[in-house]
Amino acid sequence: MPRNKQKKKDYQRKVATRLPKKTFLIVCEGTKTEPNYFRSFPVLSAKVEIVGTGRNTLSLVRYAEGILQQRQDQFDEVWLVFDKDSFSADSFNQAINYCQTHYQEGFRVAYSNEAFELWYVLHYQLITRPISRYRYSSILTKKMGFRYKKNIPHLYRLLKERQPMALKNAKILYQNRSHSPAKDNPSTTVFQLVEELNRHIID
């Protein structure tokens, strides 16, 4: 095995567990941006497995179901992380509704309307008016002082000190949500997954 691959494997093993109190499966729409962010959490008292799929809304639900058919007893919670993007309101809402109606089976949802980068923006400011996801990059570039690009590997560390502000702003948006998440631009429930992971950072 090449040396660099061996190093990567060893690193992933260290992140995983130490007598885990809880087990999480995080299934992401994105293959890098979201997995990179959640893998950066220094979780100590839980086992976290993160999968980036390239799938969205209902196809992401089907993908998670497929994993659980093989490994149902291995996870306490299964979080689906996906964006509204340009997908239909029906498919977006149906995927969220699936997670909510299967709550007792461990399904949870961390959705963003319109995109995951909204969570990053909320570390700097509260946005209450509808905004296109194509504007997130320019906002983040201005706020962070360097050009924002997807897949920046150290965003968790860069934004950690501002996380309380993001949690506060995301909750304000959530409190004002409607009956249809697809209509709630901007909105995100990523804060719920972040708070859950935060509970396991310290034993």
**Is the pLDDT at 17 greater than 90, yes or no?**
no
Q: What is the DSSP letter of 34?
A: H
Higher pLDDT, 132 or 11: 132
Q: What is the pTM of this model?
A: 0.88
pLDDT at 151: 81
Q: At what angle do helices 57-71 and 89-101 cross, to 10 degrees?
A: 30
Higher pLDDT, 48 or 10: 48
- Which residues have a Cβ under 8 Å from the Cβ of 63 and sit 6 or more positions away? 27, 53, 55
**Is the pLDDT at 80 greater than 50, yes or no?**
yes
**Is the pLDDT at 5 greater than 60, yes or no?**
no
